Amino acid sequence: MNNIDSNNHLCIMLQAALADIPLPGCGAIEKETDKQPLSLSAVTQAGTLLNYGEEQIAQLHADLHCLYAHSLARFPQPQEVSEKLTAAMRLHRQIPEQEGILWQRLCEQAEKHGFDDKDQLTDCLVGWLSSTSLTLTYSDVVCP
């Protein structure tokens, strides 16, 4: 199986693993943290299902923003590269360690298909978190 087929296979596994997981109720739940309200969002819900605490969810938001909000320039500054690597390494360490339901379901699906590359599974989950967050942020869907 080539790399593109492998990535497509991972995406299919991820969708199957996440399809039947009920997300926590959404709404206008806000908490005051450093005088900035944090709204319950797709990333916050996913963070909860990853077994993250409040501080870890805030870091998850920051890490995804660091990785996906801005692409690197053609000749990036070393600090920019370092920040992205730090965020990616933190996600690769924390997601499996927390053993949340999203991670467990993805691992179960991977095991069924004989796939055991945890780093690639983490990459797939991080990409899904980013794309889901962007999709829901810009959609017309309003939670009741």
DSSP letters, 29-94, are: -EEEETTEEEE--HHHHHHHHTT--HHHHHHHHHHHHHHHTSPPPSS--HHHHHHHHHHHHHHHHH
Per residue in 25-74, pLDDT tens? Answer: 443 333 334 433 334 477 888 889 899 999 999 999 899 889 888 888 99
Span 43-56, pLDDT tens digits = 888 889 899 999 99
d(CA 60, CA 118): 19
Domain ranges of the chain: 3-129
Can you give the pLDDT at residue 10? 66
pLDDT beyond 80 at 94: yes
5 band by pLDDT with thresholds 50, 70 and 90: low
The answer to whether the CB of 106 falls within 8 A of the CB of 120 is no
Enumerate residues 6+ apart whose C-beta is below 8 A from 42: 129, 132, 133, 135, 136, 137
